[in-house]
Structure 1
Amino acid sequence: MSTQPDGVWDFGDLAPASTWQFDAGALNVVRKYTAKLTLQKRTQEVKLGKVQRDSAIPFGHYYNTCAVIGNSGVLLGSGCGKEIDSMDYVIRIDLPVISGFEKDVGRRTNMTVLNHRTPTRMERSSQMKNRSEDVYDSRMKDAEAGVLLSDPRAQPQIAKALGVYNLSFSLLKMKGGIKDKINKIASSVAKKKMKGPTIGLISVLMMTTFCNHSHMYGFFPYFKDANNKPIRYHYYPNDRVYPPLEDNFDPRAHHDTNKEYEFHRDLHRRGVLKMHLGRCGDP
């Protein structure tokens, strides 16, 4: 195993296939399964605040290029920001920090997918008396006028936080549980049992329903590269509302992140989507 220059990750056997080509037939096979999500029928839009422009609800439309951005520290030093911002539709997860990291993660956000804990964190953070400790103020401003996708039960918490921030969003409420459907669809696509989907897997499979050329950035569920070089849990510093574990994923979540990573790599191998690791622009 070769030693990499400082700032360059070596992914070894965990890297995606080095050669990649889009396969429309493989995408159509996956879409036969993901169409069962019936997202256009199962989502309801609620406008919070004065939404100034079309908030680009994706379901029922097709985009040529899309990207879903994970929050792994593997994005640091990637220089992928320009490439991400060139996509027609950009999806982020759980309101990450963008300001200060634009060179690596881009600045555009069309949709933010929230897990079940994030609205509680938003509300709690927005109510902090010491406003300098509110970690969501700048994050929300960076994503303003986009789409928030959340559990319907979280609307009061989200609305309360947005009232403090005086920001406008389109909130998409998903009717009925989606995790069980995602499990069945992912299991059918993978031809093996999948369970406990992360919000990342949900976002990736949703993206295939409305995007013709899908890309993934910042998905790497390991804390060291092939040379044992440490990789941060998130590319941005931990916040003080609910800091993630330093060296493992939340054990209460019951996610099999290793299996999901291999699932995404398999979609990459099949040409359904392109998984990006390392520096953008590298061969």
Structure 2
Amino acid sequence: MCGLILHSISKDSPPRWSNLSQPALTSTPPNPIGAKQTAALKTQPVTKPPNPAKNQILNALKSIFRAEDDKAKKSTRARPVKPTKARGPIDPPFIGDSYMTENVPPQTNCPDGIQSRIKQSEFGGRFLEHIPVLQWAQHVTQEQHQRLKRYPGTHGWGGVDYNTLMDTMSVLNSSANWRMLDDWETRKNESECSRCAVVGNGGILKGSNKGKEIDSHHYVFRTNGAVIKGFEEDVGYRTTHYTFSTNTLMNSMRSYGYAGYHGPPVSTETRYVFLPDHDRDYLLMKAAAMHTPVGRGPEQGTDPTRYFGKDVSAAKLKMYHPDFIRYLRNRFLRSNILKGRYKNIYRPSTGAAMLLAALHTCDQVSAYGFMTPDYRNYSDHYYDKTYHSVAFYANHDMRMEMVVWQQLHKAGLITLYMGP
């Protein structure tokens, strides 16, 4: 399957396109169609020429064999040749371990950032340096829609018709939309390396006093029911990137209103990163960019400034590329759920997508509030008034995610807060 590579001339110039194939990581290459394996024939050296009687016999045998061979060819000439079945473990079609690629110059001059160190780590074989983390207007073509519409949910454009996709993505047309750290030049303050704090909502943060440490990073990522007011001492107050899907946003407002969560954090520095798993995400994002009510779907008529504030604009909106989420599922979080009855709904959790996106865009990543092996010692969320055990659902593999966080921490690729 062919992907696309984007070549950039400068940091903010629109990328140019060319074709590139991305081979699958886990598939065994199939044999060429119609290929046959034949045993090599051993030859014996001739020690003396055959006598005339033997020559006559040999010539007669050759005639018989030639006639039989011609007859066989005539009898099989019209029969279709069946393709040879590929051998070895082959990924089912919904896996789709082939991706668009783009070449965007690095934003920093960090000498030992994650991007350079991960290649020498145990994750080097999984890591794709040029996978697009975010999608924007120039990614949308008829060809790409045909390629991605076979993958549903967060992993493709299966639930989004082409016209809706074009209408929505047309507003994501600037470098602010395809760069996660779009304001690095004004924020870096002579730093060579970008430092990102990625904050989950785990109960391990309760009483941690990590708020100031979190806020000291260049960027602070949060997700879903990120309750801040009243918990600043433990979780900080800044939010530069807020990751969510429309579904998780609505669920969070219903589920965590008791704790003070009534919508995403709103500030001048906050960017909103959509994790699209339905066309309702595209519809809400377009409405937010245009300051118009949502046109249709479950949120029809909703004023998006209710969630993102009066100052929201297209420059503050981003959306994960479905190739990136499918790549995370296939290469970092390849759960056994993919072999079972829930394979079609399985995806990385929203927090996992956020943390791994930071891994692909920041030079240094510190993770707080993510599940650790002693998770039973902590309530599900840091804002829970009473203890609630961690909930597990069929569409995520939280235990596998926990193992990956431990591996990334051990490899020195992230710094994971493990508790007091």
TM range (shorter): 0.5 to 0.7
Structure 1 residues 69 and 122 mapped into 2: Cα distance closer, same or farther (>3 Å)?
Answer: closer
Query: Counterpart of 2:376 in structure 1: which amino acid?
Result: K
Q: Partners in 1 of 2:323 and 2:280 — Cα distance?
A: 12
283, 305, 310: which one aligns with 1:163: 305
Which residue of structure 2 aligns with residue 35 of structure 1? Answer: 129
Contact (CA 8 Å) 1:182, 1:202: kept in 2 or not?
A: yes
Question: Which amino acid in the other structure matches residue 148 of structure 1?
Answer: Y
Residues 243 and 273 in structure 2, CA contact (< 8 A), matched pair in contact too: yes
Partner of 1:210: 361
Gapped regions of structure 2 (runs ≥ 5): 1-112, 138-168, 185-191, 289-301, 340-345
Separation (CA, whole Å) in 1 of partners of 2:170 and 2:412: 32
What is the aligned counterpart of 2:271 among 134, 147, 155? 147
Work out the percentage of aligned pairs sharing the same amino acid.
Answer: 23
8 Å CA contact 2:136, 2:177 repeated in 1: no
| Structure 1 pair 256–46 and aligned structure 2 pair: CA distance change class (3 A) | same
Alpha-carbon distance, 1:208 to partner:
1.7
Select which of 203, 213, 236 maps to 1:106: 236
* Greater Cα offset, 116-125 or 200-209: 116-125
SS, match of residue 38 in structure 1: coil
**Map of 2:376 onto structure 1:** 224
SS state of the match for residue 272, structure 2? Answer: strand
- Are 1:71 and 2:71 matched, yes or no? no
> Partner letter of residue 164 of structure 1?
R
Aligned to 2:419: 278
Does the residue aligned with 2:265 lie in a helix, a strand or coil?
A: helix
Question: Could you tell me how far apart the structure 1 residues matched to 2:363 and 2:206 are?
Answer: 27
Give the whole-Å Cα distance in 1 for the aligned partners of 2:200 and 2:396.
Answer: 15
Q: Deviations over 1:179-214 (max 9, x none)?
A: 3221123159x9xx9963112221122112221111
Tell me, which stretches of 5 or more residues in structure 1 are unaligned? 1-21, 48-53, 226-230, 239-244
Bigger relative CO (Cα 8 Å, ≥ 6 apart)? 1
- For residues 109-124 of structure 1, the aligned pairs below 5 Å read 109-121=239-251
Please state if 1:80 is matched with 2:210. Answer: yes
Q: 1:66 to 1:56 in 2, by over 3 A?
A: farther
Following TM superposition, by how much is the alpha carbon of 1:56 offset from its aligned partner in structure 2, in angstroms?
A: 11
Structure 1 residues 258 and 122, CA gap change in structure 2 (3 angstroms): closer
Instruction: Give the alignment's TM-score, normalised by structure 2.
Output: 0.46
State the 1:100 CA deviation: 0.7
Any idea what SS the aligned residue of 1:118 has?
A: helix
Distance 2:252 2:218 in 1: 28
8 Å CA contact 1:90–1:110 kept in 2: the answer is: yes
CA RMSD of aligned residues (A): 4.0
Of 236, 249, 269, which residue of structure 1 is paired with 2:391? 249
Partner of 2:31: none
Count residues in correspondence.
231
* Residue of structure 2 equivalent to 1:265: 406
State the SS of the aligned residue for 2:396: coil
- The residue identity in structure 2 corresponding to 1:183 is R
Do residues 186 (structure 1) and 332 (structure 2) align? yes
Q: Is the 8 A contact 2:366 2:416 kept in 1?
A: yes
Bigger Cα Rg: 2
Q: Is residue 136 of structure 1 aligned with residue 270 of structure 2?
A: no
For normalisation by structure 1, the TM-score amounts to 0.66
Partner Cα distance (2:114, 2:320) in 1: 30
In terms of fraction of residues, the more strand-rich structure is 1
Cα deviation code 1:148-185 (max 9, x no counterpart) = 11126324446435333643332212343543221123
